[in-house]
Structure formats: structure tokens, C-alpha cells
Amino acid sequence: MKPAPVLKPGEITRERVEAFSAARHEDAAMLARRLEALRVLKDTPPPNRWDETWRRVDLGALKMDALLAAIPTDGGMARSTLTAGALPPGVVFGAFADVARQQPALLDRYFMTEQVKLSDGWLAALHGVFVDSGAVLFVPAGVSVEEPVRVQTVLDGAARAGFNHTLIVLEKGARATFIEEFRSEGPAGSDPALVNNAVEIRVGEGAQLDYVNIQDWGRNVWNFTTERAHTHAHSTLHWVMGGIGARFTKSAIEADLLGEHGVALLSGVYFADQRQQFHYDTQQNHVAAHCKSDLLYKSALRDDARTVWRGNIRVFPGAQKTDGYQANRNLQLSARSRADSIPGLEIEADDVRCTHGATVGQIEAEPVFYLRSRGIPEREARRLVVEGFFAPVIERIPLAETRDRLIEEIGRKIALD
Amino acid sequence: MTEKWFEIRDLHVQLESGREILKGLNLSIGAGEIHAIMGPNGSGKSTLAYTLMGHPGYVVTGGEVLFKGQNILELEPDERNRAGVFLAFQYPVAIPGVTVANFLRTALNARIKAEAAAQNGGITPSTVKGMPIPEFRKRLREAMAVLKVDDSFAGRYLNDGFSGGEKKRAEILQMAMLKPELAVLDETDSGLDIDALRIVSEGVMTLHERNPQMGVLVITHYQRLLNYIKPQFVHVLIDGRIVESGGPGLALELETRGYDWLREPEAGQ
């Protein structure tokens, strides 16, 4: 018996994709990329319940056919605004559509060729068909971009779709900080919206990247993301993820350590309330020897919220002297909320150190009493304890404005009553 | 009889298990006085401290605690503190991720907001923003100097990974910032070496000199803390009751004679 798909695929015609491309005045190469994605999509089965990573996902209320049909041909999707300080010569930092038009060679070389590929699955292929907003950062060898570059991607409350692509390429010895935030603006529409984003990161030999990704979509958004980074020899990636908004999120987040002595630090904070559902699948793939990966995801959840973290460290044969760590800490603020925390290790080399930790706990009474004994009212005492729980991760965000906004959002969630 | 500034009347307290710990405790303190309660292990010293602060694990079954005419047992723990009662804990709790500075500013601002609310029908006006950061920093630096703690202290997570001595200094630092009217010190000498004991005690005495109206209640097992924080009144707590009260000489007597001579005689003796 064929398992029922979790996402019903809907019918997307070639004519529709041609019209989508024409509305954006794209060149033949971009249309060809979309049509190739459509071809792959038609040959790719949608996720089904036999896929381990979809087994715990409740998509009962998701009408994917209707969401796909609602993707507008012209306009009405998420929009990205880019800001940066002075950029050294050779650095490319532009909107995805602009770079596609002006520097097609860059897309031919890096767009969905190395990190996220059409062959990754149905969501990746669908992304290739409707890719729209987003940004590209290319930093040539030996160049440092001193000021953080920022991308703010906004969905109008009533908009129905966002297909955002983030492509970051740091060549040998390059350095940069890339901060992006996703949010909805204006009153949320009652209609659901589909977001299907991809993040591709290449950290070249000896390069250093700080990457921050904060998701704060409106509550009508079904948010799917495919995010993958490659680190090469002696490179360092520091990746901070924040999850605040959206009705539903399912993110596949992967760091592949391809060159020796690479370092990947993956930090995450997320806070789910009401009936929000956050699913994070993280993968730390140690392909090369002498690499270090360290993941720390912290979550709070309240009301009827649900979070699932599935993490895996895989050590490939020959990846000796791997130092891999993963931890997921969950703070359950209501008895009805549910946090699943599923660490995993797959080790095919014999000289490695890999450990993991997963906890689900409640706010302890003693710290709250201690704070109250100093005149701090109970609600504020609880807020401090939760903020403190997240602080070590939030402190890793290299931009004060983004840190402060995240702290504010967390404070707002705690204050909901 | 004039009403006492701070008075505990016939206080009965039991644990959640139902075991009675305080069995009719009476004590009164005048403004500016320094009192010590001494007692052996298990006599109810820490129960008294926690009960005064409103810890939910201690159930008051009788009596009252009057502070300037108000029964503070009817107040929430944070209200008691804002009313002027401060407890320096024997075992201060770590608050990971919350820096000493952030915590102290939150505590000071909670006071400012509560005072503003009290004058505005229970609602804090939105114009009340709390203490300006430069003023806060100035006060914090001064307080840290009194307690001889390094500037980096302000940026550390409260009590998280602190040594025993650092925890006790942090308690007195909080006291210096929050300026209570009645300070209760629960076994503040435990875990301190002689240098740390001197710094912490001198800190308390400095605060008392600056505010001579501050009442101090020192709860301790040993006499040595009382060499530095000198009480005018000493009380002995045994089995949930004050069994003896006297002047400073009583502490020295306890040091040489122990507590046994004050215990209730066995039946038949």
C-alpha cells in the first residue's frame, strides 16, 4: 500500500510558471531554472508519513492544494530589504532577483548546485519553481566585510506566499556577518499563507561567517525551510536561529563539515505559544576529520504549543578526531504544551568524541521566590527566569538591535495572559 | 505599652508535611536595634527566616508578624520586600542568564513602579520609566566599593558559579542597593573565611551607620559573626520558641556553655 502523502502536491502547470517568470521580466536562464525545478518537482513524491521526520507532524489543517493555487503570479509575495555599510570591491550583496539578472554566472555556479539541491526533496524543488525574494552575498577571497549586512523580509498581513532564497558564499579567508529577519506587517489576513524558504551557505577555506536568522511571521503562516551550510577547511560558521512567529514551522537545518579543522556552532532560541507548532530537524555531518560542531537549541513553550527537535550528528568513515556536541533544553511553561526532544548519533569512525543532552523542565520555584524576595513581582520574576534561560544564546547574536528585539518578543510572549 | 516597630506574636509555623517547627515564637525589635537569634541546629532558625519572607513551603498556623503596624504575613513575598523587609539568604539561589546588574535594576525599578502605582490608584503611570541608567551605575559602583567586589561582578550571572564568599557578598550588595528598613541575616557567616566574614560584616555595619534607623536581625549558630556585627539584644531559640533573652553577654555565655543548659529539663528531673 502506498502511504498517504503528508502534503498534497496540487497541480502546477508549465504555463503558470512561464507567466510567473514573465511577470518578473526574467531572462531565459531564470525561466529555465524554474522549469527544471518544475520537472524535478513532478518526479518527486511529496513527504509521507513513512518519512521519519514527518511522522510527528500534524498538518491536518494545512490545505496545500489551496495554498499552492493561491501563490500569486504577480506581486503579493514577501519582499526583502537589504542594508549594509560600505562594501569592499568585489563584494556582491544584492536582492536575489537583481543578482539573477546582473550576475547570472554567480547563480549558475552557486544557486541550488552545492548546498540545497532540487533533488533534496519536494519542498526544495517547489522552492526552485517559485523562488522570489531574498538576497545573495558573495565575498571574494581574503576580503572582510566589517559591518553586518542585513536583510529584512516582510510579508504583508494579507499576502499568501513567500519563497525566499538566501545565498551566502564566502571564498577563501573571507569574513562577514549576515543577519536576516522575517516578519509579517499589518493586520494578518484570515487566509493562510505558505512560506517555503531556502538558505544556502558556503564558508570557504579559512573563512568566518556569523549568520543570524530570526523568524517572526504572522500567525497565518505555514513556514517550511530547507537550510544547509558547508564549511571548508579551517573555516568557522556561527549560526544563530530564532523562532518566534508563524502558525507552523518545519525547518531542516544542516551543517556539513567538509574540510578538516572546520568549526560549526549552531545556536537556537524558540518560544512557542497558543497552538504554535515548531519542528526543527538539525543535522551535523562530519565528513572531514578534526572538525568541531556544537549545537545548543533552547526552547520555551506555553499554552497548547508543541515543539519537536530532532537532532543528529553523523560522523562519516574517516572523520577521525571529530568533536561533536548537541543539546536541546526545553522550558515547559504550561502542562498542556508538549516538547519532544530526540537526539541521535550515527558514528562510523572510531576515534571521535560525540555527546548529546536533552532536557524538558519547568520553571523552578526557588529562583522565582528568590527574585520575589527582592521586591520583584511574580510575573516579572518569571519573565526574568525565562529571559535568563535564553540569555546565553541570545548573547551570541552580534547585533544589539536584533538581540533587543528578540528579548522584547520573548518578554511579550511571557506576558500573554 | 507602646506598639513595637517590629513584633512577632505567638508565631506557629509548620512544614507542608505537617511537622510543627515554630511553636509560639515571640520577639520584638525597635527601629535601629540590632538583635541576634542564636540556636542549635534544628531549632527553627531558618524556618523563621523563610517564614518572615513568605516562602510557600512554610505554613503559618497561628500568630502574626507586625511591621510598623501591618501584619506582613498577609503580604506576598515581593510586597514584604517592598515594605522594607530584606532577607540575606543562607543559601542564595543561582539565577542563570540574569546578570547582577540586570537583576538589581529590575528590583529597584519594581520598587519605583510600585510606589508610583500606590500614588495612582494601583496603576503604574506609563511615564514612570524607572531609575536612569547613569544613576543606577553610580549607585552600583558605590555599593560594590563598600563590599570590595570587582567591577566585573555586575556582569556576571547572579550567584551562578559564585564561591560561597561571593554569594554572601552579593547578598549584602543587594541589601546596600535596596536599602531595607529591616535586614534579616540568615547564617550569613556560614561558608566564609575570616577575611570574607570581616568584609561582609563591615558592609552590614556601614549600612547601619548610614541608616541608623535600620533594624537588623542576625540569625546564627555561632558567636563569631557577633564579634563583627555587635547586637544589643541576644535571644536563644530552642525547639521553636525563644527560651532566653539577654544582652551581648548571653552570646559569649552560649559560646562557653553551649545550649544544653537552656533546654527544657527532662521529665522527672
pLDDT tens, residue by residue, A127-140:
999 999 999 999 99
The pLDDT tens digits of the residues spanning A80-119 come to 999 999 999 999 999 999 999 999 999 999 999 999 999 9
Higher pLDDT, A193 or B193: A193
The pLDDT tens digits of the residues spanning A22-35 come to 999 999 999 999 99
Which amino acid does the sequence have at B76?
E
Contact A369 B55 (CB under 8 A): yes
- pLDDT over threshold 90, residue A305: yes
Mean pLDDT across the stretch B24-36?
A: 97
CA dist., res. B100 & res. B97, Å (int): 10
CA dist., res. A192 & res. A189, Å (int): 7
Same domain, B193 and B240: yes
The pLDDT tens digits of the residues spanning A240-261 come to 999 999 999 999 999 999 999 9
- Tell me the pLDDT band of B222, cut-offs 50, 70 and 90: confident
Does residue B167 sit within a domain?
Answer: no
Q: What is the mean pLDDT of chain A?
A: 94
Mean pLDDT across the stretch B121-139?
A: 89
Of B93, B114, B178, the CB nearest to A370: B93
Q: What is the pLDDT of residue B33?
A: 97
The pLDDT tens digits of the residues spanning A138-174 come to 999 999 999 999 999 999 988 999 999 999 999 999 9
Closest residue on chain A to B115 (Cα)? A375
Determine the residue among B16, B52, B106, B113 to mutate to test chain A binding: the one whose Cβ has the most chain A Cβ atoms within 10 Å.
Answer: B106
Same domain, B87 and B112: no
Does residue A338 sit within a domain?
Answer: yes
Report yes or no: B167 at the A interface, CB cutoff 8 Å.
no
Write out the three cell numbers for A247: 502558525
Contact B103 A389 (CB under 8 A): no
Identify the domain containing residue A290 by its residue range. Answer: 78-415
The pLDDT tens digits of the residues spanning B140-160 come to 999 999 888 889 999 999 999
Same domain, B215 and B249: yes
Same domain, B41 and B68: yes
Q: In angstroms, how far is CA B253 from the centroid of its own chain?
A: 25
Same domain, B99 and B85: no
Residue A377, min C-alpha distance to chain B (Å)? 6
Does residue A133 sit within a domain?
Answer: yes
The pLDDT tens digits of the residues spanning B17-29 come to 999 999 999 999 9
Same domain, B64 and B188: yes
Of A367, A378, A389, the CB nearest to B78: A378
Mean pLDDT across the stretch A272-292?
A: 97
How many Cα atoms sit within 13 Å of A117 on the Cβ side?
A: 7
Mean pLDDT across the stretch B91-120?
A: 94
Contact A373 B78 (CB under 8 A): yes
Same domain, B29 and B99: no
Same domain, B86 and B191: yes
Does residue B116 sit within a domain?
Answer: yes
Of B77, B98, B106, the CB nearest to A373: B77
Contact B93 A367 (CB under 8 A): yes
- pLDDT over threshold 90, residue B119: no
Q: What is the pLDDT of residue A148?
A: 97
Mean pLDDT across the stretch A356-369?
A: 95
Does residue B129 sit within a domain?
Answer: yes
Report yes or no: B145 at the A interface, CB cutoff 8 Å.
no
The pLDDT tens digits of the residues spanning B156-184 come to 999 999 999 999 999 999 999 999 999 99
Q: What is the pLDDT of residue B265?
A: 64
Does residue A64 sit within a domain?
Answer: no
CA dist., res. A192 & res. A61, Å (int): 10
Report yes or no: B93 at the A interface, CB cutoff 8 Å.
yes
With H, G, I as helix, E, B as strand and everything else as coil, classify residue B130.
coil
Residue B205's Cβ-count burial label (10 Å; 0-12, 13-18, 19+) is middle
Does residue A163 sit within a domain?
Answer: yes
- pLDDT over threshold 50, residue B268: no
Of B77, B80, B97, the CB nearest to A390: B97
- pLDDT over threshold 80, residue A9: no
Does residue A283 sit within a domain?
Answer: yes
Residue B169's Cβ-count burial label (10 Å; 0-12, 13-18, 19+) is buried
Residue B102, min C-alpha distance to chain A (Å)? 9
Closest residue on chain A to B171 (Cα)? A374
Mean pLDDT across the stretch B129-143?
A: 93
Is the torsion defined by CA of A105, A108, A109, A111 positive or negative? positive
Residue A403, min C-alpha distance to chain B (Å)? 14
A-proximal residues of B, 46-65, CB under 8 Å: 53-56
Higher pLDDT, A71 or A3: A71
Closest residue on chain A to B110 (Cα)? A376
Beta strand A236-243 with B182-186 is: unpaired
Cβ(A217)–Cβ(A184) below 8 Å: yes
Residue B145, min C-alpha distance to chain A (Å)? 21
Mean pLDDT across the stretch A300-309?
A: 97
CA dist., res. B234 & res. B197, Å (int): 20
Residues in A closer than 8 angstroms to B183, CB to CB, are: none
Identify the domain containing residue B217 by its residue range. Answer: 1-92+180-269
Q: Which of B161, B196, B220 is the last residue of a domain?
A: B161
Residue A248's Cβ-count burial label (10 Å; 0-12, 13-18, 19+) is buried
Of B56, B76, B81, the CB nearest to A374: B81
Write out the three cell numbers for B258: 553551649
Same domain, B122 and B238: no
Contact B95 A365 (CB under 8 A): no
Same domain, B150 and B52: no
Determine the residue among A267, A374, A383 to mutate to test chain B binding: the one whose Cβ has the most chain B Cβ atoms within 10 Å.
Answer: A374
Residues in B closer than 8 angstroms to A375, CB to CB, are: 78, 81-82, 107, 110-111, 114, 178
Does residue B169 sit within a domain?
Answer: no
Same domain, B101 and B81: no
Higher pLDDT, B126 or A66: A66
Does residue B68 sit within a domain?
Answer: yes
Residue B126, min C-alpha distance to chain A (Å)? 17
Residues in A closer than 8 angstroms to B89, CB to CB, are: 370, 373
Does residue B130 sit within a domain?
Answer: yes
Query: Domains in chain A: how many in total?
Result: 1
Q: What is the pLDDT of residue A4?
A: 73
Write out the three cell numbers for A196: 517555503
Query: Domains in chain B: how many in total?
Result: 2
CATH of the domain at B251: 3.40.50.300
Same domain, B191 and B255: yes
Residues in B closer than 8 angstroms to A392, CB to CB, are: 96-97
The pLDDT tens digits of the residues spanning A188-230 come to 677 899 999 999 999 999 999 999 999 999 999 999 999 999 9
Q: What 8-state DSSP symbol labels residue A48?
A: B
Q: How many residues does chain B have?
A: 269
Q: What is the pLDDT of residue A2?
A: 64
Does residue A17 sit within a domain?
Answer: no
Does residue A55 sit within a domain?
Answer: no
Write out the three cell numbers for B144: 560594590
CA dist., res. A262 & res. A256, Å (int): 10
Does residue A168 sit within a domain?
Answer: yes
Q: What is the pLDDT of residue B269?
A: 43
Q: What is the pLDDT of residue B183?
A: 97
- pLDDT over threshold 70, residue A68: yes
Q: What is the pLDDT of residue B1?
A: 43
Cβ(B252)–Cβ(B223) below 8 Å: yes
- Tell me the pLDDT band of B190, cut-offs 50, 70 and 90: confident
Q: How many residues does chain A have?
A: 417
